[in-house]
Chain A
Amino acid sequence: MYPRAFHYHRAGSLQEAVTMLSQLGDDAKLLAGGQSLIPLMKLRFANPAHLVDLNFVSGTSYIKEENGSLLFGPLTRHAEIENSALAAKIPILHDCAAGIADVQVRNRGTIGGSLAEADPSGDWAVVLMTLSTDVRCLGRNGQRTVALNSFIKDAYTTELAHDELVSEVTVKMPPKGSGGAYLAFKRAAPVYPTASAAVQLTMEGDTCKDAAIALGCVGLTAIKATDAEAALRGKAVTEKSVAAAVEAARTVADPQPDMRGSADYKRTLVGALVKRAIAAAVRRARGEQVEVNHLYA
């Protein structure tokens, strides 16, 4: 399949990419990892007249620790995060990176591209929503910082202006005693999950001091399940409180029926994923090494 013909522009810096976007107008799009955009262009669902390629901008792929936060360059590939000992300090980040699609896609796809695309089935937004995440945006008037929770507006819609791009993603290190896990149910590796759940819990003994729970693929954006969080926050993690959190997660889920399953099926599924993710998060919060792998049909 051939995409519609387009003009190719290779940016030498992020600032130059911003200038190109503003000069080329609405028909220009950024090319990062391309693992979503190129398939969409081949199917002619996306038909940009101009592509601004970010892949040749040096210094855009990095993972650093600074002032109690992890900093990710916008073009850091999923595979680099998967294999990073630094990123593994926050185990839920490793769960996410290692579970995206397959090796080939992880070698190309980027964290900045995933957030900027805001696909309702994307993995990064769900996971980063359970952490304190800021998105640095670069535009003609310089940098601004947007909290992830207000960065994603709707399906495929973000806070980014047309001539603005993601220049860095900052994730605050969770406090001591915090653990998280991300679980997705997938029909096969290369496809998007049917549903997914991210849970980050801060524990003090058996009591949950703080909880963050987000759901993926069951709404137009990743959903922060605040009622599910409240069902755990300040309480002992017991069968009863977990059941209440699961019920709250099922209630807030707003899935669309599609080829991956009916709305009821997805709602049931997301509840089961929340339950399993809570169990893994509690163990990790205690300092246990727990391997979490996505579930495949």
Chain B
Amino acid sequence: MKVALRIQRFNPDTDKSPHFEDYTVESELTDRILDAILQVKGLTDGTLTLRKSCAHGVCGSDGMRINGRNALACRELIMNHKQPIVIEPMKGFSIIKDLVVDMEPFFNKYKSVKPYLINDEAAPAKERPQSEKDRMKFEDTTKCILCACCTTSCPTYWADSDFVGPAALVAAHRFIFDSRDRAGEERLDIVGEKEGAWKCRTIFNCTDACPRGIQVTQAIGEIKRKEIFG
């Protein structure tokens, strides 16, 4: 059946500002929105530019704004969306072309919280054991795939691009609450700043947007509690 799409287009070489264009494609209702967009690219207009890689909700490349909500296009079925389905790039980053945004600021924020295990104690002969209970403390935040759906759904981030953003806070949470890590204090200092966890206004857009179902706002809340009570 026919599916109507309204896609935001922007070509930096010819356009001053983004505009919308309407497309109609033949698709099954059980197809995903990514399929419909790829049909536009394949059959109607090959210049339509977007990121996608695995197309199965694992790599996190095709985060975009779909009918006003951030999601991975490969995880959204056409039948669950009102038509015309409005497709926009994620908000808060500068647009490179069409649906492709500049993710550099996002990854810089991610790197700023030192998202890797830091432990300079002598390596044990076998491994660093961890109890199941300790592991469950950060189980949720290990699921992040860095798609940026959370950070670009955050009104605080839209208003203040200095804000470290929910994704970086999720990454910080993943190591702060890891019993094997030794740099928790350092990370708490980094995200305990004005532009860190305290900038979070508990709007919950991030939690809504996360395609992995991470309880982002709760993770930020746990960081805040740790900042206060240690």
A interacts with B: no
A positions within 8 Å CB-CB of B: none
